[in-house]
């Protein structure tokens, strides 16, 4: 079993973490297992926003992808502000549940939101030895 080590001093958690599974989100994601051609279901993920003044990441929410590889309701429109965000996907755990090893224990996608009134879709295409992402609206 592997242990994920989080960088010290870089992540601050809110005291209450909730998954907003029922609300529409201006930010969506979709995990696709490109090795098998199937959705990446049951992938744990976390959404952070950077506080540039303190060089720390604030945890906004945590969730798990559904059977279609999606995690609806990541953030409410009220929470979604301009700034730098990070989606952290537990890909090593995903592959381990299938009895396989992975080169990447996790994948982090860092991106900048300049217009929080737009819709953002940030998919993750993943195999055991590679990953790719892009911005879709």
> CA-CA distances (angstroms) from residue 38 to 9, 13, 30, 125?
36, 32, 11, 10
Q: Please indicate if the annotation marks 58 as binding a ligand.
A: no
Which domains occur in the chain, in start order?
27-133 (2.60.40.180)
pLDDT score at 6: 46
Encode pLDDT of 123-137 as tens digits: 999 999 999 999 997
The DSSP call for residue 96 is H
Residues above pLDDT 70, as percent of the chain: 83
| Among candidate residues 97, 109, 88, the one with its CA nearest the CA of residue 41 | 97
- Give me the mean pLDDT over the 97-115 stretch: 97
Q: Please indicate if the annotation marks 134 as binding a ligand.
A: yes
pLDDT score at 137: 77
- 19 burial (CB, 10 Å; 0-12 / 13-18 / 19+) is middle
Encode pLDDT of 16-65 as tens digits: 334 444 558 999 999 999 999 999 999 999 999 999 898 899 999 999 99
pLDDT score at 23: 54
């Amino acid at each position: 079993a592997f242990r994920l080590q989080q960088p010290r001093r870089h992540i601050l958690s809110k005291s209450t973490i909730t998954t907003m599974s029922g609300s529409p989100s201006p930010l969506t994601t979709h995990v696709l297992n490109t090795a098998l051609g199937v959705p990446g279901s049951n992938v744990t993920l976390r959404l952070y926003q950077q506080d540039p003044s303190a060089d720390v990441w604030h945890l906004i929410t945590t969730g798990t992808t559904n059977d279609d590889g999606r995690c609806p309701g990541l953030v409410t429109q009220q929470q979604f502000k301009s700034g730098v965000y990070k989606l952290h996907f537990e890909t090593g755990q995903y592959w381990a549940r299938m009895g396989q090893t992975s080169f990447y224990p996790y994948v982090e996608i860092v991106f900048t939101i300049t217009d929080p009134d737009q819709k953002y879709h940030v998919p993750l295409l993943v195999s055991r030895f590679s990953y790719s992402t892009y911005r879709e609206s």
